[in-house]
Amino acid sequence: MVNSIRQTVRGIVFTNRHLARLYYFLSFSRPVLPQWVGADYYREKSSWGLQPERCPCDLELVEYLQKHNIQDQTIFHFGTGSHHILGLANQKFSQPNEIIGITASAPEHQEYIRLSLKDRLLFKYYKVLCTDIYTLTDRSLPMLDVISLFHLGEFYMPEEAPFLHHNEESLLGMFLSKLNPNGKILFYTKSIGWGHAQPIIESFVKQGKMHKIEEYKNLLVYAKCSLN
């Protein structure tokens, strides 16, 4: 009964952005998706700490890099979190990777600045952009060896289209075009947006643009087909 009431209340709250913002304000919590609160509020207030029990994707990526001894490569990482665990763990490699991270969250980027000023070696191999990933173009990026698109399907908002270059499908296509031969592109099957991301990924596979090469825990790993 109590759970049913909670679900009903949440259903009402999260279909009204003003109520959703009030909820986050009163509960001293951070918004999870921009669709609930609007893009501007999300960019200003959102921040995701390290929560392995709820979202282990970045820890699993670190493990995957360690398992395959992936070093001295160029990596793009979608969604840094305020923990920046990927950048911090990368420093422990004998040949650190060059990592480009991206976050649309101002607090997460501010934490990156704080951590980097505390340890300037973090700046050396780990660069974090504070912008909307859908604003990137192929001219914004170098060629890449590893791409993590763990949050594909989560953040695109049609109302933001005038300010963007991509939707979900074209974003994946653009990143695939930046993947080096023998490169890997990874997805996270437990993401909030997996229901949106999975059909897009499957359509790219059916079109012969990429193929799955392995799984690691909750991660799916794909490679670009040779003709692409």
Judged against a pLDDT cut of 50, whether residue 1 lies above it is answered with no
Write out the E strands in 30-107. Answer: 74-78, 98-103
Q: What is the mean pLDDT of residues 21-37?
A: 65
By the 10 Å C-beta count (0-12 exposed, 13-18 middle, 19+ buried), 50 is classed as middle
- Sole residue written with tokens 């949440």: 10
Prediction pTM value: 0.89
3-state secondary structure of 81: coil
Q: What is the pLDDT of residue 206?
A: 98
Judged against a pLDDT cut of 80, whether residue 141 lies above it is answered with yes
Q: What is the mean pLDDT of residues 92-120?
A: 97
- Give all domains of the chain, ordered by start, each with its CATH number: 2-45 (no CATH), 57-224 (3.40.50.150)
Query: 58-105 pLDDT, tens per residue?
Result: 999 999 999 999 999 999 999 999 999 999 999 999 999 999 999 999
Q: What is the pLDDT of residue 49?
A: 86
